[in-house]
Homo-oligomer: A and B are copies of this chain.
Amino acid sequence: MNTLAEENYLKAIYKLDTNEKIGVSTNSLAEALNSKPASVTDMLKKLSEKKLINYRKYQGVNLSAKGKKVAIRVVRKHRLWETFLVQQLKFGWDQVHDIAEQLEHIHSDELIDRLDEFLGNPNFDPHGDPIPDKAGNIPSRKELVLDELVKNELAQVIGVKDHSSSFLQYLTGLKVELGAVIKVIEHIEYDRSKKVAINNNEPFTLSEQVCSNLYVKRIKK
């Protein structure tokens, strides 16, 4: 079984490991984990000895199959707990991150499988992120961002890229929630912002930054 610190490192590596070939850098890990590069190096050595990562000095890291399994299990737990907090305990989607960050480290396979079932085996969490199943399979869908839509297109909000509570609270205030139907009224080329309408209500403007942090799914009009 892994320590809390180990699990957090594995999760961080998992999340930063986008570009397949290149390893995750020590500095980026330090930043993601709010720690110092020297601390990261120490831990990488430890994780490497435990065969949880593939690590060569100065070359960055990647997860081993074993490490990836652990990371995905932590992500699964995090997202299931977030779902529980929002769906059952009626927390706002902007309030659950820190609590799930703790709950994701509870060790009990039976607990998490029962929780999964209790919640109705959800595929996506309250932020629209996919929830890995027991076997580690992750529901996928093509990632389309509001920014990519053009005038008159209709779409449904299905997720957020930025999970900061300030962003989530801003969206809530605008009624931009998961499932909301969004119509692009106009694209303003000058600052790449968009005038949009949610569920056919009063139109308003969203900045490029907001548009590129919203995952959507096109729907026929």
Which residues of A come within 8 Å of B, CB atoms?
85, 88-91, 95, 98-99, 102-103, 106-108, 110-111, 114-115, 118
Whether B90 lies near A114 (C-beta < 8 A) is yes
Whether B106 lies near A89 (C-beta < 8 A) is no
Whether B102 lies near A89 (C-beta < 8 A) is no
Whether B108 lies near A99 (C-beta < 8 A) is yes
For the complex, give the distance between the alpha carbons of A106 and B89 in Å. 15
Tell me the dominant secondary structure on chain A's binding face.
helix
For the complex, give the distance between the alpha carbons of A115 and B90 in Å. 10
Whether B111 lies near A89 (C-beta < 8 A) is yes
Closest CB of chain B to A109's CB: distance in Å? 11
User: Which residues of B lie under 8 Å from residue A89 when comparing CB positions?
Assistant: 111, 114-115, 118
Closest CB of chain B to A17's CB: distance in Å? 28
For the complex, give the distance between the alpha carbons of A95 and B108 in Å. 11
Additional pairs, 13, CB under 8 Å, beyond known A85-B111, A99-B108: A89-B111, A89-B114, A89-B115, A90-B114, A91-B110, A91-B114, A95-B110, A98-B108, A99-B106, A102-B106, A102-B108, A103-B103, A103-B106
For the complex, give the distance between the alpha carbons of A137 and B88 in Å. 26
Closest CB of chain B to A118's CB: distance in Å? 6
Residue among A98, A106, A107, A111 having the largest count of chain B Cβ atoms under 10 Å: A111
Question: Which residue on B lies nearest to A108, using beta carbons?
Answer: B99
